[in-house]
Amino acid sequence: MLSKKGLRVLSQRAKHILESSCPAKCMSTAPEEEKYKVRGRNVLDVMKERPLVGDGGMVIALEKRGYVTAGNWTPEAVLEYPEAVRQLHREFLRAGSDVLQSFTFYAAEGKLKSSSTGKNYTVAEINQAGCDLVKEVAAEGDALTCGGLSPTPSYGQGKGKQAVQDEFRKQVEIYMEHDLDFMLAEFFATIEETEWAIEVMKASGKPCGATMRIGPTSDKSDVDSGECAVRMAAAGADLVGVNCSFGPVTSLKTIEKMKTSLDAAGLEPFLVMQPVAFHTGDCEHNKDGYHEVPEFPLALESRSITRWDARKYARAAYDLGVRYIGGCCGFEPYHIREIAEEVHTLLYFLRNFIIVHYCCVFYNTA
Numbered residues of the known binding site for Zn(2+): 244, 328-329
The nearest distance, CB 187 to Zn ion, in angstroms, is 7
Q: What does the alpha-carbon distance between residue 166 and residue 184 come to, in Å, rounded to a whole number?
A: 17
Name which of 244 and 262 has its Cβ closer to Zn ion: 244
The nearest distance, CB 335 to Zn ion, in angstroms, is 13
CB 340 within 8 A of CB 53: yes
Letters for 226-245 (x = contact with Zn ion by CB under 5 A, - = none) are ------------------x-
The nearest distance, CB 235 to Zn ion, in angstroms, is 22
The nearest distance, CB 275 to Zn ion, in angstroms, is 8
For Zn ion, the binding residues in 239-298 under the rule CB under 5 A are 244
The nearest distance, CB 216 to Zn ion, in angstroms, is 18
Name which of 182 and 187 has its Cβ closer to Zn ion: 187
**DSSP one-letter string for 31-63:** -HHHHT--TTS-HHHHHHHSPEE----HHHHHH
Helices and strands (DSSP H and E) totals, the chain = 15, 8
Under the binding rule (CB under 5 A), the answer on residue 61 touching Zn ion is: no
Residues whose CB is less than 8 angstroms from the CB of residue 133 and which lie 6 or more positions away in sequence, other chains included: 78, 82, 85, 86, 89, 102, 103
Letters for 317-346 (x = contact with Zn ion by CB under 5 A, - = none) are -----------xx-----------------
Name which of 56 and 226 has its Cβ closer to Zn ion: 56
Pick from 323, 325, 327, 276: nearest CA to 303 = 276
Length of the chain: 366
Name which of 255 and 328 has its Cβ closer to Zn ion: 328
Phi, psi for 117 (deg, rounded to 5): -75, -15
206 exposed, middle or buried (CB, 10 Å; 0-12, 13-18, 19+)?
buried
Pick from 190, 197, 198, 202: nearest CA to 227 = 190
Name which of 317 and 328 has its Cβ closer to Zn ion: 328
The count of residues interacting with Zn ion (CB under 5 A) is: 3
Name which of 49 and 56 has its Cβ closer to Zn ion: 56
The nearest distance, CB 267 to Zn ion, in angstroms, is 26
CA atoms within 13 A on the CB side of 366: 6
Interface ranges with Zn ion (CB under 5 A):
244, 328-329
